[in-house]
Chain A
């Protein structure tokens, strides 16, 4: 069955530092992969997506993610975080049909 694992529940980084959020998926075929961000009390906003082609995907707000088939991973990165990046981040995989399976999320905290 399809699944998504985000091993880190909380991550704390200093403002200006680099960031990497981990995501591993389980899916039998070529996956459709997504990263979403959620600010407190708000809905989820799509940061980036991977369907096919170049394995390094650029998204909004300076984020990027790299699809690594051999590692079943789709880690999210940002070279320099800003205080406004503090939020919860969800990795997701297209599960066939209309469904998307979401990970449990990683809450990002930013130190001034």
Chain B
């Protein structure tokens, strides 16, 4: 596998279910991200991890719980979701190697299309 992979690609779940999204990057990057992309909203940053430490939580509801066991893997645990949580969830990774320490380009996975019934 190369790049950033996400599983599953599609997920349908009820409001009382518990499920997890998985992301794996094979690029040796140190930072990983979760984004939410809804039909009528811009790309929303949810969480950022750098060297396994969470560095950003963009006021995300607690029904979304991220986990980053190592720099290559990122999970998003879902429980008691709402229909408005239906969206494309994108994972990305990057290496912060720019001269002043700013964000390098992010590499995205194909996303998980989540439908909450």
Judge whether B108 is part of the interface by a CB distance below 8 angstroms. Answer: yes
In the complex, what residue of chain B is closest to A31 when comparing beta carbons? B102
Q: Using an 8 Å CB-CB cutoff, how does the interface string of B85-117 with A read, 1 for contact, 0 for none?
A: 000101010101011111111111111010000
Partner of A44, one of B31, B94, B108: B108
**Helix, strand, loop or mixed for chain A's interface?**
loop
Judge whether B76 is part of the interface by a CB distance below 8 angstroms. Answer: no
Which size bracket describes the interface of B in this complex? 20 to 34
Count the A-B residue pairs with Cβ separation under 8 angstroms: how many?
68
The answer to whether B105 touches A34, judged by C-beta atoms less than 8 angstroms apart, is yes
Residues in B with CB closer than 8 Å to A45 are 108
The answer to whether A42 touches B102, judged by C-beta atoms less than 8 angstroms apart, is no
The answer to whether A46 touches B4, judged by C-beta atoms less than 8 angstroms apart, is no
In the complex, what residue of chain B is closest to A48 when comparing beta carbons? B105
Cβ of A28 to closest chain B Cβ, rounded Å: 12
Residues in A with CB closer than 8 Å to B113 are 41
A residues engaging B (CB < 8 A)?
Answer: 29, 32, 34, 36, 41-46, 49, 51-52, 90, 94-100, 102-105
